[in-house]
């Protein structure tokens, strides 16, 4: 393709309801919940059994169940709805014929998942009796019903998307008027930022012809992709992969400026592609009423017990025994090093970025056309040149106001698609945080015995046998999976939770490379080998005086307080020893350990 498509790529604007407004410097878009409607074709062809023994409708219901389960875990405040089109009965706010709103746009819950599971337990006849089938539907009415659900939602919506499941590539083949209405409605939805995404299913031996009708319904941001559709999914695993790819929207951390030179600036959005997933914190309840408890933190004066306001509190830093007090305005002024954003410093070869330089997980930047017009074109040109010349961009990065500046390397990444044209990697720059000189530690590695060439060759043999292509995406956290499986079983009233396979458990190494490992062990540790004696423990830098002071204090022996004060090691003494010394010299014993240390220092004139 001549140009990359920077239209969406799985990214969504805004940060949901988690916007705390505290990250000044980022240009936050209006907060809103991600809303998703699953629009499912329920005409009779969707109920024909395929080679797998399942119908297309069964696959759709399993996908819908999976979407709701994933939403509960990943973002339970998002909204999901399910709409059938092609039914004999109708239920929707616009009174459209043959459109049945099964589940209104709302947060996912256990009862909704159970309701979708009931369709998998029933038969096609059960569905026919309860909802019926009709080919006289209008896709325009179905899209209109979805639009009404978005409009009538009481929540503030961010991204609005419709996932359309069907096996019919031309639903209004003999009715040009209905085709024209559907195209017009799809265009109207596109203009109000409602995305329509097609999840098509193919019948046995039949090709889904995207260009016959849906090419004008589904809008693509890149004209080069017009008429191109991922391969049809015949299995649940393939369909679920595509659903997850479309459903997983990454929200921006914020929007900043990227300055390339004097008067040359573009807008970028910052994303976190990797973040450690933890079990949610348990909510505390009052045991008598099961009401949720709320925390309320207050600050009191230690001496008077008076309730303090935020303006009454100051902070200090101790330096040479003195308390240096700062006002809040002074602290904010000291923290400010410049306006938030990226500033280009220069370029370096990509080979200069070492793999062992790791300060924190990298972030990802993507062009933001809403803040500065033309940012996508400039970003595209910079990305292409960096890839062509195999260089990285060195920048100064201040993520938000009152944040310390950091040096970062912008590592270019080209777009990557799989065989079904589902995006694996978006085009953009990884923001690699670089260490300062203060962060780099120099290690003194002691000399030891070196491996012989024969031992190295033996090691290569069993390492080659144990080699496998590792990818983090293939391994789920067994602790999290077990936790959520148990919650799911309790919420859905299941007898037993689904089994969790611990993929982190190492395989049988003896089966794969047992002989090679044993040969290596025999060469490195021959018969009669004895482990050398342990090295003597290292002496402490203070010559053991601190340890002696602690031991003397514990045993009640004499402690040379003056010598320790001269060496600046009074903190090694216990509170009891310090109080005993202060009492013997007629000094005050009030306060904490730091106050006692200050009394001792003042006594010795330090």
The residues that are catalytic are 29
* Other residues' Cβ atoms within 10 Å of the Cβ of residue 147: 19
Measured between alpha carbons, how far is 137 from 142 in angstroms, rounded to an integer?
A: 8
* Other residues' Cβ atoms within 10 Å of the Cβ of residue 328: 12
Burial of 499 per CB tally in 10 Å (0-12, 13-18, 19+):
exposed
Maximum separation of any 2 CA atoms in the chain, in Å: 105
- What are the strands, taking DSSP E only, across 216-362? 250-251, 254-261, 264-271, 299-300, 307-308, 315-319, 322-326, 341-349
For residue 379, give the nearest of 390, 392, 365 by alpha carbon: 365
Measured CA to CA in angstroms, residue 100 lies from 39, 134, 223 at distances of 10, 12, 34
CB 200 within 8 A of CB 210: yes
Q: Strand pairing of 416-417 and 423-425? A: antiparallel
Measured between alpha carbons, how far is 304 from 394 in angstroms, rounded to an integer?
A: 54
- What are the structure tokens assigned to 354, written together? 């070492």
Measured between alpha carbons, how far is 304 from 323 in angstroms, rounded to an integer?
A: 21
Q: What is the 3-state secondary structure (H, E, C) of 137-197?
A: CCHHHHHHHHHHHHHHCCCCEEEEEEEEEECCCCCCCCCHHHHHHHHHHHHHHHHCCEEEE
DSSP 439: G
């Amino acid at each position: 393709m001549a140009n990359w498509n920077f239209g969406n790529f799985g990214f969504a604007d805004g940060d949901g309801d988690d916007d705390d407004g505290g990250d000044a410097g980022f240009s936050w878009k209006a907060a809103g919940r991600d809303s998703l409607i699953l629009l499912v074709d329920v005409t009779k062809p969707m109920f024909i059994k395929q080679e797998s023994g399942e119908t297309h409708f069964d696959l759709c219901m399993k996908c819908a169940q999976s979407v709701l389960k994933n939403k509960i875990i990943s973002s339970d405040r998002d909204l999901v709805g399910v709409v059938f089109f092609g039914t004999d009965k109708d239920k929707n706010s616009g009174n459209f014929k043959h459109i049945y709103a099964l589940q209104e746009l709302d947060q996912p819950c256990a009862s909704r998942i159970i309701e979708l599971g009931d369709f998998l337990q029933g038969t096609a006849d059960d569905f026919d009796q309860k909802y019926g089938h009709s080919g006289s539907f209008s896709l325009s009415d179905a899209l209109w019903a979805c639009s009404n659900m978005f409009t009538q939602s009481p929540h503030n919506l961010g991204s609005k998307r419709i996932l359309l499941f069907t096996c019919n590539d031309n639903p209004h083949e003999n009715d040009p008027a209905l085709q024209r209405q559907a195209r017009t409605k799809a265009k109207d939805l596109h203009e109000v930022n409602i995305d329509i995404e097609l999840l098509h299913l193919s019948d046995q031996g039949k090709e889904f012809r995207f260009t016959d009708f849906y090419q004008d319904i589904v809008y693509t941001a890149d004209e080069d992709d017009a008429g191109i559709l991922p391969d049809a999914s015949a299995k649940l695993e393939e369909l679920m992969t595509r659903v997850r790819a479309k459903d997983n929207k990454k929200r921006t951390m914020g929007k900043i400026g990227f300055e390339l030179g004097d008067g040359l600036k573009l807008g970028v959005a910052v994303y976190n592609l990797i973040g450690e997933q933890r079990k949610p914190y348990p909510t505390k309840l009052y045991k008598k009423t099961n009401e949720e408890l709320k925390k309320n933190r207050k600050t009191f004066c230690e001496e008077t017990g008076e309730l303090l306001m935020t303006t009454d509190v100051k902070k200090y830093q101790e330096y040479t025994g003195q308390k240096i007090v700062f006002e809040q305005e002074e602290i904010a002024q000291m923290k400010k090093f410049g306006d938030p954003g990226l500033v280009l410093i220069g370029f370096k070869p990509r080979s200069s970025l070492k793999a062992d330089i790791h300060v924190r997980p990298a972030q990802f930047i993507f062009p933001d056309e809403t803040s500065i017009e033309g940012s996508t074109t400039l970003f595209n040109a910079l990305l292409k040149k960096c890839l062509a010349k195999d260089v990285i961009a060195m920048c100064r990065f201040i993520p938000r106001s009152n944040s310390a500046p950091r040096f970062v390397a912008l590592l270019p990444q080209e777009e990557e698609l799989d065989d079904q044209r589902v995006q694996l990697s978006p085009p953009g720059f990884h923001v690699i945080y670089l260490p300062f000189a203060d962060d780099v530690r120099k290690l003194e590695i002691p000399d030891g015995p070196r491996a012989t060439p024969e031992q190295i060759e033996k090691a290569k043999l069993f390492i080659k046998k144990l080699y496998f292509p590792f990818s983090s995406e293939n391994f789920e956290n067994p602790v999290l999976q077990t936790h959520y499986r148990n919650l799911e079983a309790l919420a859905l009233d299941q007898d037993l939770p689904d089994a969790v396979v611990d993929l982190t458990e190492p395989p049988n190494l003896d089966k794969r490379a047992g002989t090679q490992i044993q040969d290596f062990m025999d060469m490195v540790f021959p018969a009669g080998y004895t482990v050398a004696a342990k090295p003597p423990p290292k002496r402490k830098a203070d010559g053991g005086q601190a340890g002696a002071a602690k031991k003397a204090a514990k045993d009640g022996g004499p402690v040379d307080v003056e010598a320790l004060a001269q060496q600046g090691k009074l903190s090694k003494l216990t509170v009891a020893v310090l109080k005993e010394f202060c009492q013997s010299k007629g000094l005050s014993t009030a306060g904490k350990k730091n106050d006692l240390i200050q009394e001792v220092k003042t006594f010795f004139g330090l």
